[in-house]
Structure 1
Amino acid sequence: MVTRRNFIINTSLAATAVLALPSLAFTMNKKEIGLQLYTLRDELPKDVKTTLEKVAAAGFTTVETYGFSIKDQFWGLSPIELKKILDQNGLKAVSGHYNLGSFLADGNTTELLAAIEAAKILNSEYLTVPWIDEPLRKNIADYKIIANRLNQAGKACVNAGLKLAYHNHDFEFQKHDGITGYEILLKETDKDLVHFELDLYWVVRSGNDPLKLFAENPGRFKMWHVKDMDKKNAALNTEIGSGSVDFKTIFKEAKLSGMKHFFVEQENNYNPNPLESIKVSCDFISKNLI
């Protein structure tokens, strides 16, 4: 018979063990496997409900949204309607990619405020900036302006109970007078206001090393995009574990990175189709990486 006293003692011992083994505690938190819903961009607009049911059935517990607009919201659904479907399937929208192009360009807050409101309704933790339009990133001065705008957006997010993150592609690693745009963003943003979502595929494809970024900027990469690279054609993605990105080595340094959440993403080259591909990726991660 389990008495209340024994329960308290056993619980205390378990808690002490976890505290004594911080790496174990970190590993336990990594059981959630997320999906960037852009992977299913052809399926979602046709049938959000059925598609999200299949996402949950594939083994995912968290998602990252994309495609929000003030006019169409999420594929014709309001944030409240989307939240209901997510809840019904045991899915949590931890993060969302929101286009803040107008805010980054001239400081217009219309899109930013709408994105914050949507993210709050979804009970998200992060509002993530997915892209910088090309005319806004020509040189060092441009990147410094972007960094300043990210700080402003980060402050607005914090005031709303959210966190701001920035997601990279490969263009950020192009050098401008000897320094990359990404280095400027890391240096010029407030680490308490602006977090980074590291797209591992784009880092590797640009010729850079995620582990070097972790070592030089410990704790700054709170989220990852786990996206594999086709072994024959680097321009193509593939299912996680089938490509050339060394995820096993990268995941070993998750704590150094500061990673709290990660999202599978595959933009092309599905085998045999997107819904089957995400299942293969989820299975590989659960068996080999976490």
Structure 2
Amino acid sequence: MNSRRTFLKQAGLVAAGALILPSYACAAPAKVVGLQLYSLREQLPADVRGVIGKVAQAGYKEVETYGYSVKDKFWGLTPKEFKALLDENGLSAPSGHYGLDNFIATGNQEDLKADIEAASAIGSEYIVVPYLGDALRGGEDQWKKTAQKLNEAAAIAKSNGIKIAYHNHDFEFAPVGNTTGYEILLKETDPEAVKFEMDIYWVVRSGNDPVKLFTDHKGRFPMWHVKDMDKADHTINTEVGSGTIDFKKLYSHANLAGLKHLIVEQENFSMDPYASIKQSADYIKKEIL
């Protein structure tokens, strides 16, 4: 953690800068820990109520959903029922992952509108695009078309009080001419309407610097996926604080990024999953927030 002197110095600079900088400079960074429920994808379908209870017991205050569909809903629970379950456990769901490939490819709004309705019903602020199929990547023109569709989705969602955000992996950083798909998305989307959920692990694994992205695109990253990189095998995750990524340093740039929600995601486990998510939450609350 920063020393008290360094903290006070930084706080003074932020306070002074807020007089002349845009609103991201004075935005309050995340103060609670969230969990992307995909981390517990093997446990959830069999016992959604029990799993949500254990997430709360592990010290989480927020969750990020995934996998909603009109047919299966939230693991068999309607949005209203799932919201009640979250409320019972002192949890909120400010964001969720919803696939937008069909809308991006065809413009068909049916699934998008159903997702917006579900996200609104559980009290979410963000619908996050978790992934793009191969056909929606490609060359510069295709990335620009995808960016335009994100703008269109944001305009549709806005009337329901929902924002659109985009979650990265590493393929977005592959060269596209003199740029990358990620840079195209950042530059071609409306900064006020389309935000980004930075998966820090994938940014680092792709060889890029999260702080440079925060600096170049101030205030665009209200959500971070926090998962650490295993020291021995960079292709797998480890518990936050146990790997190679300096999250303390990154969090010192939270205001620059516009951070509001810090979300743990663990894609693989080398210990009991509930022990793992608790270890990450305990480290974040003790050492970072």
* TM-score between both structures, scaled by the size of structure 2: 0.90
- 2:76 maps to which residue? 76
> In the alignment, residue 31 of structure 1 is paired with which amino acid?
K
Decide whether the 8 Å contact of 2:27 with 2:258 is kept in 1.
no
**Aligned position for 1:120:** 120
Q: Deviations over 1:1-38 (max 9, x none)?
A: xxxxxxxxxxxxxxxxxx96989x866x5321100000
CA distance in 2 between counterparts of 1:138 and 1:271 reads 35
Q: 1:223-256 deviations in whole A, cap 9, x for unaligned?
A: 1000111011111000000011111110000000
Determine the structure 2 residue equivalent to 1:200: 200
Give the number of equivalent residue pairs: 271
Q: Which residue of the partner structure matches residue 61 of structure 1?
A: 61
Aligned to 1:159: 159
1:111-260 equivalences under 5 Å are 111-260=111-260
Query: How far is 1:274 from its partner?
Result: 1.1
Q: Name the SS of the counterpart of 1:165 in structure 2.
A: strand
Q: Secondary structure at the match of 1:45?
A: helix
1:10-29 to 2 correspondences below 5 Å: none
CA contact (8 A) 2:30 2:259 kept: no
Letter in 2 for 1:253: H
Say what the alpha-carbon RMSD is for the aligned residues: 1.9
Partner residue, 2:275: 276
User: Partner amino acid for 1:48?
Assistant: V
Q: Deviations over 1:242-274 (max 9, x none)?
A: 011111110000000011111000000x23121
> Does 1:39 find its partner at 2:39?
yes
- Tell me if structure 1 keeps the 8 A contact 2:34–2:264: yes
Q: Are positions 1:288 and 2:287 aligned together?
A: yes
Q: Give 1:101's aligned residue.
A: 101
TM-score normalised over the length of structure 1 = 0.90
Percent identity of the aligned residues? Answer: 54
Residues 26, 187 of structure 1: alpha-carbon distance in 2 compared, 3 angstrom cutoff: closer
CA distance in 2: counterparts of 1:146 and 1:26, whole angstroms = 29
Shift of 1:144: 0.4
- CA offset digits 1:117-165 (Å, max 9, x no partner): 0001001111111111111111111100000000000111111111111
Q: How far apart are the structure 2 equivalents of 1:37 and 1:115?
A: 17
The one-letter code sitting in structure 1 at the alignment partner of 2:275 is E
* Residue identity matched to 1:280: Q
Q: In 1, distance between residues paired with 2:153 and 2:57?
A: 35
Q: Is the 8 A contact 2:226 2:264 kept in 1?
A: yes
The reply on whether 1:92 has 2:99 as its aligned counterpart is no
What residue identity is the alignment partner of 1:167? H
Retained in 1: the 8 A contact 2:32–2:285? Answer: no
- How many Å separate the matches in 1 of 2:200 and 2:60? 19
User: Which structure 2 residue ranges, 5 or more long, are not aligned?
Assistant: 1-13, 19-23
TM-fit CA distance, 1:87:
0.5
Q: Equivalents in 1 of 2:85, 2:245: separation in Å?
A: 33
Equivalent position amino acid for 2:77 in 1:
L
Supply the AA of the counterpart residue of 2:251. Answer: F
8 Å contact kept, 2:164–2:193:
yes
User: Quick one: higher RCO (CA 8 Å, sep 6+), 1 or 2?
Assistant: 2
Partner amino acid, structure 2, of 1:208:
N
Write the distance in 1 (CA, Å) between the matches of 2:170 and 2:190: 22
The match for 1:6 is none
1:69 aligned partner, one-letter code:
S
